[in-house]
Chains A and B, each alone.
Chain A
Amino acid sequence: MKEQKLQSQTVQTTGHAWDGDLQEFNNPLPTWWVYTFYVTIVFAIVYWIIYPSWPFGKGFFGGVSNITYVNDHGETVTHHWNTRALLMEDLNRAAREQKPYFDKIASMPYEQIAKDPEMNGFVLSAGKALFSDNCAPCHQSGGQGKIGFFPNLTDDDWLYGGTYEKIHETLVGGRRAYMPAFGEVLNAEQITDLAHYVASLSGIEHDAARARAGDALFHSETAACYYCHGADAKGRKEIGAPNLTDKIWLWADVPGADTANGKLAAIRSVIEKGLNKGVMPAWAERLTPEQIKVLTVYVHELGGGQ
């Protein structure tokens, strides 16, 4: 009650009166509020001056704050404040901060990089970013590849060798996989015999008699499979011919087939049609030597190397 009485004593009106008794209350604002309001006005004006703000003509006032950065062509560019330039400035800074690490990478042998916890940590994170940007479209984000298309980098089978030097060679110069189509040279029975033999090498269900026939064909001059895959069928890394005796499949989707016939059909298809699609591009022109070195160590670590 007391509170109400106080209010009615101090109540103020604007002094206007309509219809004789209709009045308008006047509740003054607290000083701090009014000053805060003035501060926001000053803030807005300062903001207009610093940042791009008012349009005039076909353009606009760009503000007095500028951002200078180095663009992709190596030119130094100065631009009025905008988030794209801000991002470029950020990327420039990141590159500057990474430089000492890349310089160190350039001067260190592979084995030493992999042994140094700090450099190894850098390879894991910088390598991951480089791999995601450049390699992941084919080899997938984890390096697991895709059967029938792109090799798995996380297993222990290396088509061209898994040493640092060989991985580096692959990255720099690229690779091209080729296997002739035998559909023209051999008849269907012969191709099936060969498929049974290849299946037997990996311990997959097969007909022993047909596999024996395939074995003979494999080592004969008719098919001459051993030229590339070797007499022991363990492949030849010098030319990227795969090992046929292990449990790893790249081109024939054997693990994906449910039945024994399906698995044989997958092998048959590769022998019959051959291969001319395995292309790894050369990265020497696209990445810096330090970046390729980081990727070499990163990929070596993915599969455990050799």
Chain B
Amino acid sequence: MQTGLEEQLALYQKRIPIFPRSVQGRFRRFKSAVLILAYAVYFLLPWLPWARPDAPSQAVLFDLPGRRFLIFGLTVYPQDVVWLALLLFIAAILLFFATTLVGRAFCGYFCFQTLWTDFFIWIERLIQGERPARIRLYRQPWNREKLLKVGATHAVWIVFSFWTALTFVLYFGYAPDLVVRFFQGAAPAAAYITVGVLTFSTYAAAGLMREQICTYVCPYGRFQSAMYEPETLTVHYDARRGEGSQGRATARAGLRTRDERQAKGVGDCVDCGLCVQVCPVGIDIRDGLQYKCISCGLCIDACDTIMDSFGFPRGLIRYDSEANLRQPVPGKPRLHWKRLKVVGYALALALMSAYLVYSIATRSSFDRAVTQVRQPLYVVLSNGDIRNRYQIRITSKASRPERYRIDAVGLPDGALDLGNFREVDVKPGHTVIVQASVRLSPQVAARTREFEIRITPLGHPQEAMTEAVRFDTPGGGR
């Protein structure tokens, strides 16, 4: 029975602050390279010019009012939503594929939450110093130094969050123009709301919540177990080597060399705790694989540094698979790709990517829809002829104005009446509606059940498209 606990209990669980120590090594270099590349792309892309005849010269522009996405030489219209669906499918399968092969590689190296948190910690270290200095600052009372350093850190975070948010908005308008209007107070309200929300969420997620996003908010860590297999490579602590038969021990006198340690049954882990200090999510990898681990590899770098300094072989913490570690004598860690799951994901990935590329490469420069007017289905004219009416919509997806010719296949000459629009000019991204009517004598009408309307872009006659439509007659049931 426990009593007297009331005073210890808070209303909610407090976050235990984490002060990751910086580290150098292979994985740190890789993470930094990814960070620089990703930031270069994200922050500079809206400023990349791209000459276009009919639209703002911005390489990537999501033109929402114009209902189109301009991506380099490609213009994507709402009708092309299947490409977006394919892209999302591909992204999902790529995630599954990578996870089953090498664990949460996305989380550790590529996720924007990881990238921004990493950069925010870098800012924090630049202003407040290395881990011990930050812990000291955290513990000391609020004096001038603490106020200045912590205040400066948050100020830089907020400025960077603001620039992150502003950059996001620049993808939706012509950047050089939008940025000026934004600071003049003349940008659309949506821009200010988006920048406000994103500044706050970036600051909160990368500055304040950090690993809590991964632990509590993001579902991915929780279902990693569904994607992991014993053969999956992931960050592991080699417990057998590290603990020996007597457990880990610090490198005190008599336990300094490997031979001495092995003679006493002590493992290679010198219990320096560096792997815990560098961890951005504040876990101890030596407890085994856990859902909080984002597999960023920094503990590998930390451990390798220590192993090097003691002259022990590297790889006490390394990328390895559970299956390999279970073996009596673990072999060299290797990629197990000859698995049904991996091959299946790879196949799905290849098929969908191929289809996406094919679909984009063979896209047509226009869309059309021909619908029969159903009220009334047919009209009997003065001389007994039957008339049906149709509505033809032509949407141009070309980058310059195009002229389209409309004609009919399977009808007598002169039966198709297009009014003034036998040929029609359509501006890029615009839709033109043409009212067409077909007039047939009762004899011809009786044997005409269907015909085709053909639309030919005069600039690209090979792209001509036809659409079959029906012709209705009085009592012409089937």
Contacts and interface: CB of A to CB of B under 8 A. Distances in A.
Interface of A: 12-15, 17, 20-21, 23, 26, 28-34, 114-115, 117-118, 120-121, 124-125, 140-144, 152, 154-157, 243, 246-248, 255, 301, 304
B239 interface: no
Given A13-B5, A23-B2, A121-B433, A156 B374 contact: no
Using C-beta atoms within 8 Å of the partner chain, give the interface range for chain B: 35 or more
A142 B216 CA distance: 58
A267 B51 CA distance: 71
Nearest to A141: B375
A297 to B, nearest CB: 11
Contacts, number: 110
Contacts of B417: 304
Given A32-B212, A33-B216, A156-B382, 10 more contacts: A13-B2, A15-B3, A17-B1, A28-B11, A30-B216, A31-B15, A34-B11, A121-B432, A124-B391, A248-B381
A162 B11 CA distance: 81
Contacts of A29: 11-13
Interface stretch (B153-161, B330-338, B363-371, B421-429): B421-429
Contact of A243 (B6, B14, B382): B382
Nearest to A15: B5
A141 B373 CA distance: 11
B9 A155 contact: no
Interface string B1-24: 111111001111111000000000
A247 B381 contact: yes
B435 A142 contact: no
A117 B430 CA distance: 11
Contact of B216 (A13, A32, A120): A32
B379 A31 contact: no
Given A15-B5, A115-B420, A157-B382, A31 B373 contact: no
Contacts of B185: none
Given A15-B6, A26-B9, A144-B375, A247 B383 contact: yes
B380 A155 contact: yes
Most chain A Cβ neighbours within 10 Å, of B13, B387, B431: B13
A104 B3 CA distance: 84
B402 to A, nearest CB: 12
Contacts of A247: 380-384
B134 interface: no
A124 B433 contact: yes
Contacts of B434: 117
Contacts of A115: 420
A34 B13 CA distance: 9
12 contacts: A13-B5, A15-B2, A26-B9, A29-B11, A33-B216, A117-B425, A117-B432, A125-B433, A142-B375, A144-B375, A152-B379, A155-B387
